[in-house]
Amino acid sequence: MRHVLGIDIGSTGIAAAVCRDVGERWSEPVSGPPVESVVHVAPDATVSVGAEALRRSVVEPDRVARGFLRRIGDDVPFLLGDELYTSEALTAAVAGWVVDQVAADEGEPAERIAVTHPPSWGTYRRKLLLDALGAAGLPPAILLPTPVAAAEGHLARERIDPQTLVAVCRIGGEHADLAVLRRGPATFDLVTHAEPAEPAAGKALDDLLFAHVHERCGDVAPSALRLVCAEAKERLSTLPETEIGPVRVTRAEFDRLARPGLLATLDPLRRYERLSAVLLVGGTAAVPLLAELAGELTGCRVVAEPEPAFAVARGAALVARLREGAAVESTALVPKVTGFPDLEPEDVYDDEPVPPRPPVVLTPLEPPRRRFAPSRRGGSRSEDDE
């Protein structure tokens, strides 16, 4: 079926959402199951992602990579086996894997894709990724900052008047991004952004729970206990208490542990006035304390997006749907903001310069080939198979 696709590649998870052409209109975005953000590249360049990549990592741990998208712009490549791959090539390969997964369900490739990136990126990193997506043979691609995608998803449910200021807090498994957007005539302008140095993201909260119960769960292996703590954190988002092995933990205990880190993560919001709302997205946005603290710091309405782990991907799919017939050569949908009366000049978002790098000689790299393996879902198709 004719469709467009939004792809959000995080440090710990990959989310995708599809909008289908159902006749005279496009459908609302539909999210797929979450996928762990890990990629395995075999010696023959076959790409595996998520659960299959983890399975292969047991016997080939040197062929697995994580955190590749946020390393785009870094000249140091990934060494997988005896081959070198740039961060943008791996990111494009993962995006191609997602496109292939959805194409297998829909019966044809997406007409367009929208891929998100951190709000701190400028032209240099966006161009690297856009070129890599094109080199991988993917459908026409739009790149947009994650807070813009989240705001577009919210706009589909609620009117946002022009010139309105909205803060978007995306708190995922390892990273947090805070941004202030201004609603323009047609899209959102990225006014400013902040990235906490030590965010109280999902894994940090898991570690707090682990430290809280570790001594009382002496017979449980540390790796297993960390997994149990991650699951308990999710349960405490909806339940007043839960059990971690022999230990009963209440939401009040968890809030006491999480409060200092979450306050430090959200602290940049104190600087901004005249915000109409704060949007919370990312897997950690499901923690009720986060909305409470954001409200205390800003004094404005706080909206925790439905299924926050998929909110950015759904917004990206909506942007791809709305851009019917539009040119996609631009690497961003938002113009650079040259000034804002309530912010200091150094706070205003600007395109980053090309980061200085020491002289390094690199072997020319090609993206991993995409292969289609009919025997298992999630394979990709190589040029040799076409």
What count of residues does the chain have? 386
pLDDT at residue 291, rounded to an integer:
93
pLDDT at residue 369, rounded to an integer:
55
Residues of the chain with pLDDT under 50: 325-351, 353-354, 357-364, 371-386
Helix (H, G, I), strand (E, B) or coil at 168: strand
pLDDT at residue 321, rounded to an integer:
86
Residue 39 resides in a domain: yes
Residue 91 resides in a domain: yes
Answer whether 103's CB lies under 8 Å from 89's CB.
Answer: no
Strands 35-36 and 13-20: antiparallel
How many Å apart are CA 144 and CA 290, to the nearest integer?
25
CATH code of the domain covering residue 319: 3.30.420.40
pLDDT at residue 202, rounded to an integer:
87
Same domain for 8 and 147?
yes
Q: For residue 251, what are the domain limits?
A: 202-260
DSSP string, 105-125: HHSS--SEEEEEE-TT--HHH
How many Å apart are CA 96 and CA 85, to the nearest integer?
15
Mean pLDDT computed over every residue of the chain: 84
Same domain for 316 and 242?
no
pLDDT at residue 339, rounded to an integer:
36
Give strand pairing partners of 302: 278
Same domain for 8 and 143?
yes
Same domain for 84 and 217?
no
**pLDDT one-digit tens code per residue, 231-246:** 999 999 889 999 998 8
Residue 210 resides in a domain: yes
Residue 173 resides in a domain: no
pLDDT at residue 340, rounded to an integer:
38
What one-letter code names the amino acid at 30?
A: V
CA 87-88-90 angle, 5° bins? 65
For residue 60, the 8-state DSSP code is -
Q: Please say which residue of 241, 260, 279 terminates a domain.
A: 260
Q: Using CA atoms of 145, 146, 147, 150 in order, give the dihedral in degrees to the nearest 10.
A: 130
Same domain for 228 and 112?
no
How many Å apart are CA 166 and CA 274, to the nearest integer?
9
Same domain for 35 and 87?
yes
pLDDT at residue 217, rounded to an integer:
83
Helix (H, G, I), strand (E, B) or coil at 300: coil
Same domain for 245 and 327?
no
Residue 357 resides in a domain: yes
CA distances (Å), origin 299, targets 65, 178, 222, 296, 326: 41, 17, 40, 6, 39
Q: What's phi and psi for 102, nearest 5 deg?
A: -70, -40
Same domain for 147 and 24?
yes
Same domain for 125 and 8?
yes
What one-letter code names the amino acid at 200?
A: A
Tokens of 298: 């800003």
Instruction: Provide the number of structural domains found in the chain.
Output: 2
What stretches of 172-273 adopt beta strand conformation (E)?
176-183, 188-194, 241-244, 247-250
pLDDT at residue 200, rounded to an integer:
81
Strands 188-194 and 176-183: antiparallel
**Close Cβ partners of 247 (under 8 Å, ≥ 6 residues apart):** 213, 216, 217
Same domain for 232 and 154?
no
Residue 124 resides in a domain: yes
**pLDDT one-digit tens code per residue, 241-290:** 999 988 899 999 999 999 999 999 999 998 888 899 999 999 888 899 99
Give the residue from 127, 105, 152 showing the smallest Cα distance to 8.
152
- Rounded to the nearest 5 percent, the helix, strand and coil shares of the chain are 35, 25, 40
How many Å apart are CA 145 and CA 122, to the nearest integer?
10
Same domain for 212 and 328?
no
Same domain for 69 and 149?
yes
Give the residue from 121, 120, 12 showing the smallest Cα distance to 67.
12
Residue 118 resides in a domain: yes
Residue 345 resides in a domain: no
